[in-house]
Structure 1
Amino acid sequence: MPPETGAVEGEQAHFRALEALYAAAPINRLFESALEIPERGIARIHFQIDERYFHAAGAAHGTSYFKMLDDAAFYAANSLVTDRFMLTTAFNLLLTKPLKAGPVIAEGRWISGQRRVFVAEARLIDAEGDEAARGTGTFMKSRIPLAGLPGYRATR
């Protein structure tokens, strides 16, 4: 439990710093989304799909699926690593339902790995509560220190 002064320490500080890093990434200016890391190995991205992300047939383009699945799995894995930024080395997608305009949640979960290579999965849940896609990725520790990245800071 955090101290009564309101300071965030340890694991929770790392989670808040990762959330700030996500918010600071330039790519996320293109997506109305917010990351939350409630615990080790779990990440959720709440985002809004609208017509800007549609392909010619009136549903979300696959780039939106990939972006949110990759990010949710990535942050679930990086929640276990406090010193280095991770990199996606592979990602497999299964798209099962077209996404229409509305809120979507990407839920990421760490599966395995604790040294250099991690495996995590994610799924997209649409406004009706249906799974629209799932994916599994592998992530590798890079040589990039988290502490040196603009945006990586505890904000709460």
Structure 2
Amino acid sequence: MNKAHFEKLERMYLSANVNIELFDTTTAHITKGKAEIGLKVESKYFHALNAMHGSVYFKLLDDAAFFAVNSVVEDAFVLTKSFEIHFKRPVTEGKILAKGELISSDGEAFIAKSELVNETGKVVGYGRGVFVKSKVALTSEIGYR
């Protein structure tokens, strides 16, 4: 287990402009093959029916699965090749937690799943994606420090 790698990934995630400027991420915890991303639900994420927009579900589900994969890839930034999500129920308040887990890899492609749970532990959405290594090295220039 490479704790330093996990901590660098956590810092990279939390220092990304999208997470600083647009999202109020509360948690980023990464271990081997797993990641958890937390978010405080706010009205700025709501669509016209006053519930969280699907794009926020996607972001959190993709992020958790992505970092579950990047936890086992220590030399390069990974990319999402495809991702499928399923919505189970609306979110209107509280905190939500995306939990990602690496399922398999053939050396070129990685498959990971994730679920999004509300404060009461109910699954509000879930997804599965395919990820690949990019040609971009994990360096301090991209926040990996």
Contact 1:98 1:132 in 2 (8 A): yes
Please, which runs of 5 or more residues in structure 2 have no aligned partner? none
Deviation at 1:116, TM superposition (A): 2.1
Deviation at 1:114, TM superposition (A): 5.0
Deviation at 1:50, TM superposition (A): 1.0
Q: What is the count of residue pairs matched by the alignment?
A: 143
Contact 1:19 1:35 in 2 (8 A): yes
Aligned to 1:135: 127
* Larger radius of gyration between Structure 1 and Structure 2: 1
In structure 2, distance between residues paired with 1:92 and 1:150: 27
1:43-82 CA distance string (max 9 Å, x none): 0011111100000001000010000000000000000000
Please, which runs of 5 or more residues in structure 1 have no aligned partner? 1-9
TM-score (norm. length: structure 2): 0.95
In structure 2, distance between residues paired with 1:81 and 1:28: 22
**Amino acid aligned to 2:126:** R
1:13-66 CA distance string (max 9 Å, x none): 0000000110111110211113111x2101001111110000000100001000
RMSD of aligned alpha carbons: 1.1
Q: Aligned ranges for residues 37-56 of structure 1 at < 5 Å?
A: 37=30, 39-56=31-48
Aligned to 1:4: none
- Does 2:2 align with 1:11? yes
